[in-house]
């Protein structure tokens, strides 16, 4: 969880750099035209920061995906157990 939290902070920081550079309040407001107005140097730095953030954390993605799969399997098992218990009560 700590690694996911750290990655969340890193991604948030990069996205804040993007919104600050484009003078938008949030990422959802970004558009192609606003990004085209940025200098090549600014765009290169933003892309580099984002790539570094994503490249340093592929194991975090894999770990999170594995955890999600496990939790989904457990949820299904629990739901099946609940259904069996409900049938016994009837």
* CA dist., res. 81 & res. 21, Å (int): 53
Q: Does residue 77 or residue 50 have the better pLDDT?
A: 77
Structure confidence at residue 7 as a pLDDT band (50, 70, 90): confident
pLDDT digits (tens, 9 = 90+) for 41-74: 999 999 998 888 888 777 777 888 888 999 999 9
* CA dist., res. 34 & res. 24, Å (int): 9
How much is the pLDDT for 73?
A: 95
How much is the pLDDT for 1?
A: 61
Q: How confident is the prediction for the chain on average, in pLDDT?
A: 87
Q: Contact, 47 vs 39, CB < 8 A?
A: no
> What Å distances lie between residue 18 and 13, 33, 37, 69, 82, CA to CA?
9, 14, 12, 32, 47
* CA dist., res. 25 & res. 29, Å (int): 7
Domain boundaries of the chain, sorted by first residue: 2-56, 66-90
Residue of 62, 50, 57 whose CA lies nearest to 11: 50
Q: What number is the average pLDDT over the span 11-18?
A: 88
């Amino acid at each position: 969880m700590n690694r996911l939290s750290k990655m969340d902070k890193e991604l948030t920081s990069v996205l804040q750099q993007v919104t600050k550079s484009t003078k938008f309040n949030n990422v959802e407001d970004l558009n192609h035209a606003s990004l085209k107005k940025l200098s090549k140097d600014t765009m290169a730095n933003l892309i580099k920061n984002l790539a570094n953030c994503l490249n340093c954390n592929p194991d975090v993605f894999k770990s999170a995906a594995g955890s999600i799969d496990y939790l989904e399997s457990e949820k299904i098992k629990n739901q099946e157990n609940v259904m069996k218990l409900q049938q016994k009560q009837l």
